[in-house]
Amino acid sequence: MVTIRDVARLAGVSPATVSQALNGRGRVDVRTRERVAQAATKLRYAPNVSGRRLARRRAECVAVLQGRNMTTVFSDSFYRVVLSGMAEVTQARGYSLVVTPPPAQAATDTDLNRVLGHGAVDGVLVAGALDTSMLLALRHRGLPIVLVDNYLPGVDLPAVVPDYQAGARLATEHLLRLGHRRVAFLGAAVSYPFGWQTLEGYGEALAAQAIGQDPTLVRRAAIGVEAATAATRSLLALPEPPTALFAVTDAMAIGALRAARECGVRVPDGLAVVGMDDIEMSAYTDPPLTTVRVAKDAMGRLAAEWLIGLIEGDAAGQPVPALPTELIVRGTCGGSPGTWVLAASGATRPTIFTKEGT
């Protein structure tokens, strides 16, 4: 049986260096790491995972708990990318990743034991919105937790979130810059921060141009194409309909495009539309959708790195700044031709205006 000492002898390093190189830990330079990997491959060395976990007193497994605002993390076009970022980090750090749905009702000990794998996970990544009671019950168990794409105001749970308020402001500012003054807001009928953050960003952009919010131009709907289609139809039926619309998700923006087509309103000539998320489908709508890009994969990577740091005792449990958003200008709002990226972060004004890919 090949041992770690055999690999060390062939690579010309110590057994400790082999362990650090194969586990992705420690200060091992790239050439040494490659030499160790080649030696391990040549000798067909398989680490004793069970022994390593026992020695480190960790399961080396992370649970992803799905929020209630998605069907499944695998089919959801937004969270699928977030999960990919998580998986990239956990694999590189030697952790397994298990995905579990939220409990159907209020959290019980049985629910918590299922989420925590009956002690077989070291920490939990909560992707999306989950009941406060469930989050607090998980926290009470003392296991490291990082929230992803959501946070609890006033509760000191680590959270990685995009700057949705700045993104909404950025989208609305762009429509105002194009000359629109009746800009509708198609928001999400949700109770978690995303719902009010996007409305505040929209309002800030209007206020900066001394334009008062018109309540008749604000609609809240379930996140999805069907509900957004119905909400947009009601906006287009107004005596004085909007000339532009910001939808807080791309799925809702796609619903707005469908409603415009059904009502015989041309996009962008009769209605300019901007979405948010930059899911893969947004580049293939007709016309291609202008949208606020959310750093989905980066959000997943950062959350996983943070959680593993908490598990291994080398990270602080303090909130990180919200991830910046970008405006990707395509065909649904008119303006300059081509695809452009306008970066914004936090409360700052947009300062970068460059062609995408440059």
Say if residue 118 is in the same domain as residue 223. Answer: no
- Split into its structural domains, the chain has a count of 3
Report the predicted TM-score, pTM, of the whole model to 2 decimal places.
0.78
**Cα angle: 143, vertex 149, 152; to 5 degrees:** 60
Q: Locate tokens 């995905």: which residue?
A: 99
CA atoms of 218 and 186, how far apart (whole Å): 6
Say if residue 67 is in the same domain as residue 123. Answer: yes
pLDDT tens-digit series, residues 205-246: 999 999 999 999 999 999 999 999 999 999 999 999 999 999
Task: Answer whether residue 231 is part of any domain.
Answer: yes
Task: Answer whether residue 55 is part of any domain.
Answer: no
State the pLDDT at residue 105: 62
Task: Answer whether residue 54 is part of any domain.
Answer: no
Task: Answer whether residue 121 is part of any domain.
Answer: yes
Say if residue 232 is in the same domain as residue 173. Answer: yes
Task: Answer whether residue 119 is part of any domain.
Answer: yes
Task: Answer whether residue 104 is part of any domain.
Answer: yes
CA atoms of 274 and 54, how far apart (whole Å): 52
pLDDT tens-digit series, residues 280-300: 999 999 999 999 999 999 999
Q: What is the CATH number of the domain that holds 82?
A: 3.40.50.2300
Say if residue 225 is in the same domain as residue 87. Answer: no
Q: What is the CATH number of the domain that holds 38?
A: 1.10.260.40
Tokens of 101: 């749905």
Say if residue 286 is in the same domain as residue 301. Answer: no
Say if residue 122 is in the same domain as residue 226. Answer: no
Which regions of the chain does DSSP assign to beta strands (E)? 61-66, 96-100, 123-127, 145-148, 159-160, 183-188, 218-221, 244-247, 272-277, 290-294, 325-329, 340-344, 352-355
CA atoms of 350 and 358, how far apart (whole Å): 17
> Under a CB-based contact definition with an 8 Å cutoff, are residues 319 and 158 in contact?
yes
Say if residue 76 is in the same domain as residue 15. Answer: no
Say if residue 288 is in the same domain as residue 224. Answer: yes
Say if residue 99 is in the same domain as residue 122. Answer: yes
Range of the domain at 339: 164-295+324-355
Q: What tens-digit pLDDT sequence spans the chain (358 residues)?
A: 778 888 889 989 888 888 778 776 657 787 888 888 888 888 887 665 444 544 455 568 998 988 888 766 677 889 899 999 999 998 888 888 888 877 666 667 777 777 776 668 899 999 888 888 888 888 887 889 999 998 888 888 889 999 999 999 999 999 999 999 999 999 999 988 999 999 999 999 999 999 999 999 999 999 999 999 999 999 999 999 999 999 999 999 999 999 999 999 999 999 999 999 999 999 999 999 999 999 999 999 999 999 998 888 876 555 566 888 999 999 999 766 444 444 444 433 333 333 343 2
State the pLDDT at residue 128: 86
Say if residue 146 is in the same domain as residue 74. Answer: yes
Tally of CA atoms within 13 A in the half-sphere of 111 that contains its CB: 14
Say if residue 289 is in the same domain as residue 199. Answer: yes
Task: Answer whether residue 52 is part of any domain.
Answer: no
Task: Answer whether residue 184 is part of any domain.
Answer: yes
Say if residue 130 is in the same domain as residue 235. Answer: no
> Under a CB-based contact definition with an 8 Å cutoff, are residues 230 and 180 in contact?
no
